[in-house]
Structure formats: structure tokens, C-alpha cells
Amino acid sequence: MPTISLTNLTKCYDGNTEPSVDQVSLTVEDGEFMCLLGPSGCGKTTILRMIAGIEHSTSGEIAVDDLVVDSVHQSCFIPPEQRRIGFVFQNYALWPHMTVERNVDFGLRLQKVPAQERKERCLDVMSKLRILEYADRYPSQLSGGQQQRVALARMLAVNPGVLLLDEPLSNLDATLRLEMRAELRRLHQTFGTTIIFVSHDQWEAMTLANTIAVMNKGQLQQIGTPDEIYAEPINRFVAEFIGNPKINMIKLTESSSDQVDIANHILARLEESKHAEACAIRPEEIVLSDKANANTLPMTIENIMPTGGSWVIELSFGDDRLFHSTQSRPVWREGEQVNAYLPTQSLHFFDQTGHRLVLPESHIDYTNVFTNMTRSSQAPNAQPFVNQA
Amino acid sequence: MTILLTAAEQKKPNIWRRARHSFAVARHEPANLIGLVLAIFFAYLILAPVLSILVDSFIVQSGDEARTHQDEGSFTLYYIVRTLYSRISEILLWQPLYNTLDIAASTVVFSMSIGVALAWLVNRTNMAGRAWFATALIVPFMLPTWTFALAWTTIFKNRTVGGQPGWLESLGITTSNSVAYGYFPIVFILVLHYTPLVILIVGNALRRLDSQMEDSARVLGAPSRTIAFSIVLPLIRPALMSAALLIFADCIGEFAVPYILGLPVRYDTLATGLYRALDTRQNGVAAVIAGVIMIIGVITLLIDVRMMKEARRFVTVGGKGNMDRLRKLGRMRLPASGFAGAFVLIGVVLPLLTLFLSTIMILPGRFTLENFTFDYWIGSNLDTVALRNGILLTPEFWQAAWNTIVIVGSSSMISGVLGLLVGYAVLRCSFKGVGSFLRQITFLPYLVPGIAFAAAFLSLFAVSRGPIPALYGTPAILIIALVASKMPFASRSGIAAMTQLGKEPEEAARIAGANWFSRMTKIIIPIQAGPLATGILLPFISGIKGVSLFIILAIPSTDVLTTYSLRLLDYNYDQAANAVVLMIALIAWLGTVLIQKISGTGLAQGLEN
């Protein structure tokens, strides 16, 4: 199974001054399940198409194992029909004039696989993808999910070392998405294929991939496991792009010292934050309580939005707004006052260029942690606060 | 796992390397090669004739040395001056120009008014016999225009012209010249012919209109009149405009009808003026007239482009709600059908019946039993000088029919395939310039009237040039000329079909490992079979109906049905000529029915492209 490496890969479309893909270097190891994640128009599909060979690069290099398949420097370009890389299109691109079976065995016929073997492999992959019963139907007679399975089967039949998927779940409805997600993970395990897929949807990326490469404006932002990307976003873009509800971003520099706002609260609490341009906290990391202390902020509950099993609470402090999310049923009502604590170890700091700042360990304050976040904290066994005063 | 934020600054590859890489990419993309080959091919096939016409208007033509006091081939403004400013320019250009614009404008106005009314009746009301009329009203468009012209002369012909008299004349009613020939019958016939086009295009737009837009207005309390004038009419305006411009452009180039009905009273249009100039060996003047027609074509096209740009603002996505809500006509239900019925009667029944009767009558206009005979169809050993058998028993007829099928058929086939290839090359070619050049050059023949095009072909291909032998008198010149003249339609439908298909089915085939040939034969052509069939059959029908190319380029050995019938007319075998015309109409009608069988509403869609 091959390793794919991109070196300084760049793509400029004719007439565009800004490159669509800008100096992207990354390596996809054998057997990896990687997602290229980013907002629409960030160049992720272009990368996928360049790996497949449907698009060619402007500069840089693509290599499969040690074989260079596209390089301007070496004046080399291997066309898609010779690369043996599978590609599943976003809208599946099934051939409307062929039955499901003909769609699936098209690649095998081209490889001149003997009829008997072709039949067997075809049946095998169709039964694995559970489309055997539709073998004689035409694509237009299938549902979206079935069409996608045919598109997958068509690629898997020729047993490519690498499978590229363009937005694999985006055209499916909620139930099918879950089903297909399981299907893809199962495929990855049974076939052992290297899979690279593209998504603008973080849920899709988080739930499927082992590795996520976050992209923005043609540039690679961060590569890491889903957990890494979520817990330690490398810059403001990644922090804000990942997470739902969105991370709370608090600008630190724009506030004057006499103003009463969250920024000043943080600046007053943490000396080091003065080097930072902005500070951010995930909604679920905010701790709410009825009790106040020096490290808490008195906030008003503006809005409680149930999202089915969890709740998003909009908090206000002066003109500032924060979103908090929780798995437990809120005990406050809209319009009530509550005290919010922003734990120091949950705060992310970013400098002027938007890069992550790492604060010295000593400043992380482990003392001020709520152990209980609901009104039941008033119960006798609760001892949440250590008063610093 | 490494984190890469800024990649090291890399030296930009130099131009030479980039060019070699582009070549490596292009080597695997045959669309580039196809695009280049097609571009050269059409440059020779279309651009060269058009340029040669334009150049001819500034070059002393053979035989004009004495008049111009210059040598043959030298530069001159003589033809421009003669056509535009001399004493005879009134006859040569200005009067025909006025007549042409007069006919075109009148035809547009009348066919639009009648067509919109009929389109509305057929698509949006509960008029009696709606479904039947939807088909019957389109029939006049399937018949060649000169079928009507011949039917008209059969009835109204008067003593201005010799030969067999018209029916009214033989019944003792003298028709005035203004009824029998000239402006009135020409416009009348063109309106009959083009009204179905309006019904098709506007009807299509009406059907596609999202009913929710009207519903929204209705919910807000708008009365029907307001809905019609402030919602529906503005939304179908692009369709109205495109129908109007299409008809206008077609009328400018119309040759057969003014040739038959204008000539007896010296009522010239630009197309007949051009033919007359060619016929009298005034090639320079003909070139200037052709140039004028092209300029009108370019102006029409520019207006069309402008309108389409504006129309794009109106394009709305969706439109699922189909229009099944029909307006109740109440007491007007039968009169409305009467109106539509009258159109069918005048546009289909009367002309065809007239032509048919004329083929079975020995003496025109005498409705007695002994005057009727089927001899002109199936008789044998007749006492006429040349045509001793009925046309169905005449070998020349079948030879001409066979020639028609072979020549028109093969040229439609070629243009259909070329159109698809043009669509392919335009959308896939890596070089932008080649694509837009192809797109424009294949549209160019639309601006050039068939007569002028044929003349240019004659001057270009009559003698051998370089590797190409002299083609005059061979079917090849007819086929090439037909292919070139059908390219505007073929390339437009090819581009539309390929755009609709998108790149992905082919890209998927590439990924599956298919080379270009397999992609073409197993993916593209099978998927495009329907559009391709329409793209072949539509040019076939219009090719069969066409007159102007054949009248210049065909010789007796390459006789086709149209020239055969015109020759019979010249020899005064009116009955046989009309019988041939009826056979042409029959073939055209059958072909159209075939198209509609193959691709549902193919005709309407094809015409709109």
C-alpha cells in the first residue's frame, strides 16, 4: 500500500492571482484515513483532484511511494488512467447509460480481467457494499445512498491502493450519513486502503478520520488527530473553525482599562495574557455557578437553546456575549444572574499573527475548579469554592 | 506527525520547465489536438469562404476590367460605389434592403402576436382540443416555406406570368398583382411558417415558469390582468426576444419565397438580389450585398447577446410546480378553438390540399371529374414530351430522392458528430483561445445567407487549390457546404449537451483507467446518443427543405429533390413539380415525428439553443 507525499504543492488557476493551493506539503502514510478539512473554496478538493491526476499542479511535486506522478520541475505528469488511484466524486458521476453491474465492472473490463474472475470480484465487492440486489438497475433508479455505494464499489472493484473521496457524506440525509459513516470505517478496516477524503463539515471529519489536515485559503493550517486539533488549535482560524457551538473568542487588546468587560477580567487575572492579542474558550469549558468569587464573572442568562440532549446558553456581561454548552439540564431561567468561571487551563491564547501562545505552566491555576455546576451544588456535600481573598 | 504552517519558499519553476510540464499534461488530453484540428478545419471551411466574399467586394472581378479600367485582381472601390452610391444602387441595394427589412419586421410583428396568443391558448387555457392543437399547430414549421409559395401561386397566379394559369384565373376571377405577388403573400406565408416557432419557444417558457411565482402574486391579491402583465410577461420576455430575433434573422436570409413570389413583379429582397447579381455574373456587387446581409446578421446577433446577458438576471432556479391550473375560457372556449382551427386550416390543410389537388388535375382550376387523374404520380406512357411516366415511376425522381438522402444524410451525420466534437473540444481544451475561436467560428455561417455561402464555396472549391481537387459537380462540394452551413446549430447543441453532461462521467472513466478512445466510445457517445440523434435529424430536415445551397451548387448529376422540382417547374410540369414538393414535405414531416419520438420535446429545445 502506497504512501502519498505532497511537496510544496501549488495550484494557480488561469486568471486567478491568488493560488488555490499554496505550497502544501504533507505525507499520507500507508493505511491512513485522512480528512482534508476546510471551508468551501479553500483548495481541498483541488488537492484531491491533483492527487488523482484530473488536475495538474502549477509547481511542487506529488509522489506515490517514490514515484513522482506530477512535477513541473521534472516535467513529469502521469495521467489519471495510469495512476490506479480511486476517486469517488461528490455527486458520484455514475454512468447513466450502464447498469449498476456494468458500472462496477467497467474498470475490470478495461484491465482485461478474464470474465470468470471479473464476475467473482464484481459480485464480491457488490455484496460487501450490499448493492447486489440492484445489479441490473440503472443509476437513476437508485436512491442517493445506493448510488454512493455503487460509486464506491466501482472504485473498490479495481482494488486501488488509495481511495479519494470528495465530500462523501454531504449529499446524504441524517440517517444515511450515520449508516455510511459506519460503512466507510468498516471498509477502511476490511480493505486496508489508504483513504483521503475532503470535507467542509467538521462532524464528518471528526467522526471518520484518524488524521485531520485543516486548510484555509489554499494553505495547510494544522495536521493532527481529531483530539489534537480540537484541544490544541494551532491558530485562531483552526480554533474558530473547529467546534460547535463555535469557540468564544475574546479580543484582549481593544479594551481600555477602565471598561468593565471580559477582556479586562482576564487581563487582570493573568499577567501573561498581556502578550496575547486574543483569548478563547470552548463553550463547554465555561463553568457556571450561583456562587461568586474573585475569579468569577457575574453574567446574565440571555437565552437557553435546547439542542436535544444538550443545551446552549447565551450569557452576557455588559456588551460581551459568551456561549456555554452543557450536557446537563440547566437549572437557571432566562434573565437570571449566574457566575461564570473561565478556567485558566481551558483558555487558549493567540498572538497578533493569530498563532497560539503557550503560557508557562506555573500560571495554570488548578485551585479554582467548580466540582459541581448545578444548583444542587448548594447541597451540603458540595465544597466548590476556595476563596482566594 | 509534523505541523506545517509555512512551507519553505521555493524557487518558481522557470518558463521552459512549465512549458514542458504543460506539454506532458496536454499529451494525455486529446481534446487539445481535436480542438486544434477542428479550428484549422473550420478556418478553411467557414472562415475562408466568408473572407473570400468580403475580399471579393474590393477586388476587380474577371470580366470587369473594362468597366473599372483596372486589371483583374487589383484593389477597387468600384463595387462599393456602384452598389451604394450609383444611379442603380436604388435597384441594386436600397430598395431590396427596404423590402427585406419590411418583410422581416412585419413577419416578426404578426407571427409574434398570433403565436403568443396561440401559445397561451394551448398551454394555459381549457380550449377545446388542446392536445390535438399542440401538435397540429406546429406542422407548418415542418413544411418547407416554398411549399406554401407554390400553393399560393397555384391558386392566385395571374397573367403577369406565363405558363399554366392559377385556379382563380381559370375560374374567371382576375387576381391583382398585389395579392398574387410581392409583399403581401411573402409576409403572409412567412407568418404562417414562423408562428409555430413562437408557439414552441413561448410555450416552453410558459410551461417552465414556476407556478409559485404566480401563486405568490395571487396570494397578495393581484388580479389575473396584473399577474399576466407584471409577473408572467416580464419573465417570458427573454423567450419572446429570442423568438423575435430568430425569426428576424431567418427572414433576412429567406430566399425561396421571395424568389417564387417576388420575382414576377420585380419585388427584390437582398437574398434574391444577391442571386440575380450572381446569375448575371456581377460577383463584385454580389459580394457587397452579401456583406450588407452579414452586417445585418452581426447587428441582430449583438442585440441577441445583449438581450441574453440581461435575461440571465431573470434566471430562477427551480420551477417544479407544473402548470396544470388552466384558465377557464367559458363561452370563449369554442371561438378560441375556432381561431386555432383557422390557423391549422390556412397553414396546413389548404396549402397541402391545394398542392395535392394540383397534382391530380390536368388543367388547373377546372373541378370536373374528367379533369382528375393520377397520371402525374403513377401514370406511364404519357403523351408529354419529356416526362413520360408519373414521378413515382420516373427513375430520375428516385435518383434525386436517393441523392437527397445520401447528400443531406451524410452531411447531417458529419455535422452532428463534428458538433459533438466541437462541444467536447470547447469544454475540455486547455487553451482558452482555441475554445472560444471554435465557438465563434462555427456560429459564423448563421450570419451568412445560404446563397452567399454557396457562391463563396463555388469560387473557392470550383477549381483545384493545393491538395484539394476541383469539387464542382461532385456531391462532395454539396456535402461540405451543407456541413458548414449546419454547423451553427450542430455546434451549439453539441456545446449545450457537453455542458449539461459535465466533466465528471469522463473523469470517472479516466480514474477507472479508460484511455481516450474507450472514454469516447463507451461513455461520451452512448450518453449523448439522444442529443446526437436530434443533432443529426434536425439538420437533415432543414437540409431537405433548403433551396439556396442546391440552386447554386447542384448540377443535374447531383440532382436532389429540391432542384429536381424546380427544374420540373422551369419546364412547366407544374403537377409533377408539386408532387415532388409534397414528397419533400412528407419526408420532412416524418423526420420531425421521428425526432419527437426519440427525444420528447427535442424540437422545441433544439430550436431554442
* SS3 readout for B256-320: HHHHHHCHHHCCCCHHHHHHHHHHCCCHHHHHHHHHHHHHHHHHHHHHHHHHHHHHHHHCCCCCC
pLDDT tens digits for range B151-209: 888 888 877 777 777 888 877 787 788 888 889 999 999 999 999 888 888 887 787 77
Q: Is the pLDDT of residue B9 over 80?
A: no
pLDDT at B556: 74
C-alpha cell at B504: 465528471
pLDDT at A365: 46
**Structural domain includes residue A384:** no
Question: Is the Cβ–Cβ distance between B365 and B169 less than 8 Å?
Answer: yes
Question: Is the Cβ–Cβ distance between A283 and A245 less than 8 Å?
Answer: yes
pLDDT at B3: 39
Q: Which of residues 392-451 of B touch A (CB under 8 A)?
A: 432
What is the Cα–Cα distance from B270 to B129, expressed in whole angstroms?
41
Q: Is the pLDDT of residue B59 over 50?
A: yes
**Structural domain includes residue A232:** yes
* Chain B residues within 8 A of A221 when measuring between CB atoms: 5
What is the Cα–Cα distance from B580 to B603, expressed in whole angstroms?
25
* Chain B residues within 8 A of A107 when measuring between CB atoms: 512-513
> Is residue A55 domain-shared with residue A198, that is, in the same domain?
yes
Q: Which residue of B has its CA nearest to A94?
A: B505
Q: Pairing mode, if any, of strands A67-71 and A76-77?
A: antiparallel
**Structural domain includes residue A167:** yes
DSSP conformational letter for B26? H
Query: Which run of H or of E encompasses A280?
Result: strand A278-281
pLDDT tens digits for range B393-406: 788 888 888 888 88
> Is residue A217 domain-shared with residue A175, that is, in the same domain?
yes
A79, A95, A211 member nearest B523 (Cβ) = A95
**Is the CB of A354 inside 8 Å of chain B's CB atoms?**
no
Query: Rounded mean pLDDT of B551-555?
Result: 79
pLDDT tens digits for range A37-75: 999 888 999 999 999 988 889 889 999 988 899 998 888
Q: Do A72 and B17 touch (CB under 8 A)?
A: yes
- Lowest-pLDDT choice from A151-160, A244-253, B362-371: B362-371
Residue with cell 441594386: B92
Beta bridge partners of A212: A35, A224
pLDDT at A371: 39
pLDDT at B186: 94
* Chain B residues within 8 A of A105 when measuring between CB atoms: none
Quickly count helices (H) and strands (E) in chain A: 9, 20
> Is residue A131 domain-shared with residue A158, that is, in the same domain?
yes
C-alpha cell at A157: 472493484
> Is residue A251 domain-shared with residue A236, that is, in the same domain?
no
Q: Do B4 and A25 touch (CB under 8 A)?
A: yes
Task: Give the domain B76-206+237-314+331-371 fold.
Answer: MetI-like fold (1.10.3720)
pLDDT at B602: 45
> Is residue A53 domain-shared with residue A128, that is, in the same domain?
yes
Q: Pairing mode, if any, of strands A348-350 and A278-281?
A: antiparallel
**Structural domain includes residue A21:** yes
Count interface pairs A-B at CB distance under 8 A: 116
What is the Cα–Cα distance from B369 to B363, expressed in whole angstroms?
11
Which pLDDT band holds residue B243 (cuts at 50, 70, 90)? confident
B432, B512, B529 member nearest A14 (Cβ) = B432
**Is the CB of A221 inside 8 Å of chain B's CB atoms?**
yes
Q: Is the pLDDT of residue A191 over 60?
A: yes
CATH of the domain at A32: 3.40.50.300
**Structural domain includes residue A373:** no
Q: Kindly report the average pLDDT of chain A as a whole number.
A: 84
What is the Cα–Cα distance from A262 to A12, expressed in whole angstroms?
43
> Is residue A86 domain-shared with residue A161, that is, in the same domain?
yes
> Is residue A17 domain-shared with residue A154, that is, in the same domain?
yes
Residue A24's SS3 state is strand
Q: Is the pLDDT of residue B109 over 90?
A: yes
Q: Range of A306's domain? A: 247-363
Report the amino acid identity of residue B38. Answer: L
> Is residue A254 domain-shared with residue A318, that is, in the same domain?
yes
Beta bridge partners of A320: A317
**Structural domain includes residue A47:** yes
Q: Is the pLDDT of residue B479 over 60?
A: yes
Which pLDDT band holds residue A227 (cuts at 50, 70, 90)? very high
pLDDT at B111: 94
A77, A84, A234 member nearest B3 (Cβ) = A234
**Structural domain includes residue A206:** yes
**Is the CB of B525 inside 8 Å of chain A's CB atoms?**
no
Q: Is the pLDDT of residue A259 over 90?
A: no
- Lowest-pLDDT choice from A158-162, A299-303, B384-388, B434-438: B384-388
> Is residue A232 domain-shared with residue A293, that is, in the same domain?
no
> Is residue A229 domain-shared with residue A307, that is, in the same domain?
no
Which pLDDT band holds residue B551 (cuts at 50, 70, 90)? confident
What is the Cα–Cα distance from B194 to B206, expressed in whole angstroms?
18
> How many domains are contained in chain A?
2
A26, A91, A235 member nearest B4 (Cβ) = A26
> Is residue A196 domain-shared with residue A254, that is, in the same domain?
no
pLDDT at A26: 92
CATH of the domain at A270: 2.40.50.140
